[in-house]
Structure formats: structure tokens, C-alpha cells
């Protein structure tokens, strides 16, 4: 990409992730010459008091664009498959938040804190993929440890917020909580309805079903964490096993992450690595009830890590508690950080 003082940027999609992309671009003072916002239909939107004119998406709309940020998420496939190639043909680099290109061997899958050099590989197809939100925060937390002690095993359980399933899921949670307000314990079960964005009642509930059930009865979300971790760390030798659950939280994914390392390392050394790691905020004082909470991370850039402790029965086995805003670092911020890599002088 030719170095410029300012760049023509396109944002495709104005759902929760697209709106967060617009917010992040503005907050980080990205050097934008012209900003075009695309969706299925034309309209005006307001983001934090800033008005944006949304244009109907078309191939010609990418003429002159330097970087195109596609905000696609699960359930909204189509835009990147249809228009990413058109944007590339017209000279843009595409950064795609959807799942369509993540496992393409010619498309780099990038978390800037972990594998920034991979972003340079975009030249093969002109596309860089954003990992899944739950993968991103785990990789940010584990990368500093992996660089020093080489992780050989990961067992992760996620507790994922409603916003990870889109605005419909957030609305479902809101409506269910409203309907159940003041109900006694025996009356908290809502009748089944066809209007649910999620397969189960979310209010007062947790269910281990994100994505579709796939090979060996793991869900597609769980397999994403396996395959994306292998691709980002450039190793399929790491044993990764995941269970992903949906919880009654609006925004902010939480993860209980268990790791085993090849090399000896202590809890204090892990804390030291994470304290100085880019993109990580260490919150680890359980005696004072200080540990990462999703309610505290909403709208924040960092990946928060705490509850770091050694497995008393396994050598080089450790637990970490990892929390991050899934719409921000888990999607929009990571994409904009990739764009910043592309325009960096070094």
C-alpha cells in the first residue's frame, strides 16, 4: 500500500460492529481523507452526535477506496463474499470481520498484539481477516506467555454476552428481563416463542450453544477457537479444546482459560509478562475482590486478565480469567488496529 498522509476508508455495515468501527476510527484519529459508509439501503445514522450518510452498497462505490472495513458477523454473511473481491479489484485492502475468509490459507488472520507481521501477507488476495471475538481476547492474553514459555495445551470455557449474537439477542435479553421483572423463582421460565434471536431463554439462564453443532458435537464457535489459534500461532501442535456458553450479559465476553506450557514459568513471571504486554490490563488482587468483570470492560480497549493461579497437580499448568468488550477489541478495534499496521511507516 502506497504511503499517504490520509486514506479513503469504507465501512461496510451499520450494525453494532459497524457503528463501533465508526466510533473507533474517530476516537483514534485515524487519518481519513474520505469516509464512505455502506449498507443495504440509504439512510442517515447518528453515532455519538456525529452524523453519517449511509449509501447503498455497490461495486462502484469502492472506486478510490484505500481500505475497506467489512463489519460482517455471523448471521449477516454475504457482503464480504459479494463485494470484497470488487473492492480489491478497485485497489482497496479489505479487512473483514466475518468468518468467510478466516481459514483461507492465502488470507492472513491477524491480532496485532500477537502476529502483526502476518498483515503483510495481504498481497496474495488483498484481504486480511479479523479472528472471532472470543479468539481475539484469548490470543492477546496468551501471546506474551506463548512467546516465552511455549503453550502446548489450552482448555477454554467462554461466557459470551448477548451482543455477540447481534442486536436481536440484546433486545431479546432486554425484553425477557422486563417480562420477568418481579417474578418469583418458580415463575422465571418464559413460554417458548418463535421470535427469539437465540435458541433458548437468556434471562436468568446460561446455555452452552453458540453456533451450529458440528464435528464431535463441538459447536462451530468452539472449532473456530481451535483452528484460529493454530493459524495465528502458526502451530497445529497446540492442543486446544473449547466450550462456549451464552450468558445473560449485555456486552463483554468472559473466559476461563487453562494452559500448560512446555517451559518452566511461575505465576509471578506470567503476571510480569502480562503487566507489560500491549493491549492487556492486569486486574489480579482477589483478596480485595479485584478481578476482571464484563460490566467494567464495556467500551474499553483492553483485554483484562486476572485470577492467575497455578494448577497444584500439573507441572506448568495455569488458570487465567480473561474479559474484554466483544464489540470493541473483539471486532471493531482489532480491525482498525490492522488498518493502522498497514499505514505504519515501519
279 and 196 inside one domain: yes
Q: How many structural domains does the chain have?
A: 2
335 and 322 inside one domain: no
290 and 338 inside one domain: no
179 and 291 inside one domain: yes
Question: In terms of Cα–Cα distance, which of 329, 330, 305 is closest to 318?
Answer: 305
What is d(CA 26, CA 200) in angstroms, rounded to the nearest whole number? Answer: 37
CA distances from 184 to 175, 187, 200, 214, 247 (A): 17, 5, 20, 37, 20
Print pLDDT tens along the chain (346 aa).
Answer: 777 899 999 999 999 999 999 999 999 999 999 999 999 999 999 999 999 999 999 999 999 999 999 997 444 456 899 999 999 999 999 999 999 999 999 999 999 999 999 999 999 999 999 999 999 999 999 999 999 999 999 999 999 999 999 999 999 999 999 888 766 665 677 777 767 899 999 999 999 999 999 999 999 999 999 999 999 999 999 999 999 999 999 999 999 999 999 999 999 999 999 999 999 999 999 999 999 999 999 999 999 999 999 999 999 999 999 999 999 999 999 999 999 999 997 5
What is d(CA 53, CA 78) in angstroms, rounded to the nearest whole number? Answer: 22
239 and 311 inside one domain: yes
- Examine the residue annotation and report whether 297 is marked as an active-site residue of this protein: no
148 and 284 inside one domain: yes
Q: Which domain holds residue 190?
A: 135-326
Torsions phi, psi for 260 (to 5 deg)? -125, 135
| CATH number of the domain bearing residue 79 | 3.40.50.720
- Examine the residue annotation and report whether 133 is marked as an active-site residue of this protein: yes
250 and 308 inside one domain: yes
pTM over 0.85: yes
Torsions phi, psi for 57 (to 5 deg)? -70, 140
- Residue in the structure block whose three cell numbers are 460492529: 17
| CATH number of the domain bearing residue 193 | 3.30.360.10
Contacts of 293 (CB under 8 A, 6+ apart): 252, 323
308 and 201 inside one domain: yes
List 133, 209, 230, 234, catalytic entry: 133
157 and 77 inside one domain: no
151 and 115 inside one domain: no
141 and 123 inside one domain: no
List 146, 209, 253, 297, catalytic entry: 253
Amino acid at each position: 500500500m502506497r504511503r499517504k498522509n490520509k486514506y479513503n476508508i469504507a465501512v461496510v455495515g451499520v450494525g453494532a460492529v459497524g457503528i463501533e468501527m465508526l466510533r473507533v476510527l474517530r476516537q483514534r484519529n485515524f487519518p481519513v481523507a474520505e469516509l464512505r459508509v455502506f449498507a443495504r439501503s440509504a439512510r442517515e445514522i447518528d453515532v455519538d452526535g456525529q452524523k453519517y450518510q449511509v449509501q447503498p452498497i455497490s461495486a462502484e462505490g469502492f472506486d478510490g477506496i484505500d481500505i475497506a472495513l467489512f463489519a460482517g458477523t455471523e448471521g449477516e454473511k454475504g457482503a464480504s463474499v459479494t463485494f470484497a473481491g470488487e473492492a480489491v479489484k478497485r485497489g482497496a485492502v479489505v479487512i473483514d470481520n466475518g468468518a468467510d475468509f478466516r481459514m483461507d490459507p492465502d488470507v492472513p488472520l491477524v491480532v496485532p498484539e500477537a502476529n502483526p507481521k502476518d498483515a503483510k501477507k495481504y498481497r496474495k488476495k488483498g484481504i486480511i481477516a479479523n479472528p472471532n471475538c472470543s479468539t481475539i481476547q484469548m490470543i492477546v492474553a496468551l501471546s506474551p506467555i506463548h512467546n516465552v514459555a511455549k503453550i502446548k495445551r489450552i482448555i477454554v470455557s467462554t461466557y459470551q454476552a448477548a451482543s455477540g449474537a447481534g442486536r436481536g439477542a440484546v433486545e431479546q435479553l432486554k425484553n425477557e428481563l422486563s417480562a420477568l421483572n418481579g417474578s418469583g423463582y418458580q415463575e422465571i421460565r418464559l413460554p417458548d416463542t418463535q421470535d427469539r434471536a437465540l435458541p433458548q431463554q437468556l434471562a436468568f439462564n446460561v446455555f452452552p450453544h453458540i453456533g451450529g453443532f458440528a464435528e464431535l458435537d463441538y459447536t462451530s464457535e468452539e472449532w473456530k477457537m481451535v483452528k484460529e489459534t493454530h493459524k495465528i500461532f502458526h502451530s497445529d501442535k497446540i492442543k486446544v479444546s473449547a466450550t462456549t456458553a451464552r450468558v445473560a450479559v449485555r456486552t463483554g465476553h468472559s473466559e476461563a482459560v487453562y494452559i500448560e506450557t512446555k517451559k518452566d514459568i511461575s505465576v509471578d513471571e506470567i503476571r510480569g509478562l502480562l503487566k507489560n504486554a500491549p493491549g492487556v490490563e492486569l486486574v489480579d488482587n482477589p483478596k480485595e475482590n479485584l478481578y476482571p468483570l464484563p460490566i467494567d470492560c464495556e467500551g474499553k480497549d483492553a483485554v483484562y486478565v486476572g485470577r492467575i493461579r497455578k494448577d497444584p497437580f500439573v507441572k506448568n499448568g495455569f488458570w487465567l480469567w480473561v474479559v474484554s468488550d466483544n464489540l470493541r477489541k473483539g471486532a471493531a478495534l482489532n480491525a482498525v488496529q490492522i488498518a493502522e499496521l498497514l499505514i505504519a511507516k515501519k
